[in-house]
Structure 1
Amino acid sequence: MNEKNIVDNYRQLMAFIWAYEHGSFSAAARANDLTPSAISKLISRLENRLGVRLIQRGARQLTLTEEGVAYLNSARNVVAAMNEADSLSEAFPNRVSGVLKIRTMPTFAQHQILPWLPEFLEKYPSLSVDFELNAVYQDDFDRGVDIAIYGGILPSSSRIATRIGESEWITCASPKYLEKYGIPLHPQALLQHRCFHFNFSSSWNNWDFMENNESVIVPVKPIASFSQGTFLRDLALRGEGVVRLADYHIGEDIKQGRLTPILGNFRSGITEPQYIIYANRKLQSPRIKCFIEFLQQKIRNKPWQIDV
């Protein structure tokens, strides 16, 4: 049934109720800014659609048939249910509840969301959060995703992308590795080191540096590659090799001395924007609004920013 038919069927139902409640087509028409002919035609279409007579037309009053009495009860139940739904909807703009579906990078979720997630859930006890983790951005809003958080260059689309910060990719290794294999003093020296990177096509695998005011990309030869940055970080922490990861991922490791930035004199300084992405700026549910506000509050001071 198309939208036009649904609207017309509802008008027929209401015309029937109005006619019964006001006792005549004329009175129903006056009360609802219609003509008696319009009321009569709507009820006739209703009876034809149902295949039964609902009203006995009399000279002075309307009388319901047996079928009309049964239909009146059902029609009133429909209107009552719609009114109840409307009354419930009045609370929607302020009610934070339901399931919030978020798609983001595993490393961002682990290091920049997970630390404050319990606080967020405690503040909104009627809300649950469903995370879908993937290193690569995909537009999954049509299958229920509410929010996505990703960095870099996003594909052109009608989605709303709000910049929430920026990150820098840092080349680093553990003190244990550097003590064993030596500190690379030039980007080209990385070709003789044990390096790890991602196993999919991405700018994240471009190990870029600046030399003589020119950008240089070193084609490192990874001895192992992974789809998740978590494994790269773990290998680096174990002293197995050199990695290049985002500061929001390894910032705390560097602050605590678990990883050491290298080739600082050749640092490119290139930053990657971070975005929170959602489908529509208008008609945004409270569960989406509250998460966006909470996230922006937590990262407004760039907690992952480090001096290298």
Structure 2
Amino acid sequence: MEHFGYLVRRLFWLFVTVLSLITVLFITLLTYRTETTIPSKTVSLTVSNSEWRPKNVLAALEDGSTPQRVKVGFLLVSESPENIGPQAPDPNKRYAGNNLSCTNCHLQFGTQAGSGSWVGVANRFPQFGGRANAVGDLQDRINGCMERSMNGKKLPKDSQEILAIVAYMEWLGEDLPQERENEFKGFPKIKIPEVRVDLEKGKSVYDRECLVCHGADGQGIKKTDTSKGYLYPPLWGPDSFNNGAGMHRVITAAEFIKSNMPFGLATYKNPKLTDEEAYHVAGYINSFVRPVKANTEADYPDKKLKPVSTSYGPWADNFSQEQHHFGPFQPIMEYYKENYNIEKVK
């Protein structure tokens, strides 16, 4: 009997041990399945709106997956002089009148927020434009730059060139979250100083912050291969934008400068210049001689829609050309508010 009792006890502890091992194994398997299967259901491959970033253009173009028309568009906007400008081998392709590239202003190949980015721009057209007093498409907007910033002539709206540029702009905006569209729209506003531009203050800012790239004479620095245009563009003179360009308006130029200059040292989120510094240096840059666009009197058929810092007339007010050019702009803005109930911001 004693031997039998001993055997029973051994069998009991063996049973307990086996049961314990089974329990541990079951818990281990359950934990393993929980840790490995649940994340697979919750981890998303979709980039969140806050994490979305514009394309790395050069890397994307090199990987071989980019449509050919997009590649052509990229070359047209980044090496404009030799493709659609004065350096183009075919005289019939010389649409731009200066040696600027589109990307001299639309920075980082059009992806930099605060610099008139092209990211998402295709989503905003057609839209009404006061300068033509009509609804225009993206081709119309591009041609506005061709005639003014590029001091040239329009691209035919059915041309391969303009269709390639549109394709490039559309490509830049692929997958742009709707919540991020405003971030890439135009130039961030500044608080406009309530004074006339001070050209001496503007020169001081220019000499300190701009001269190293654009030169004492404002003529910029050309690329090693001069057929490809400028590394840093001229800000005035015969090879710069003409007086019909938006950048010739002090307020518009100040907004661009505040968000982007000095180049490589400022962004719209982290500017280097104050509103006042950007304002005065914008006026200084626009105090010099530059090409004159023909037929500017036809701009803004409804003169009430003309930006207050447009330096050429006629206007729907009696303020002087000098004040429209250099300010102060608040009295002009107040006039349009009081007489036409129009809120002017530029």
Q: Output the TM-score relative to the length of structure 1.
A: 0.25
Higher Rg: 1
Whose strand proportion is higher, 1 or 2? 1
Between Structure 1 and Structure 2, the one with more helix by share is: 2
Larger RCO of the pair (alpha carbons < 8 Å, separation 6+):
1
TM (norm. structure 2) is 0.23
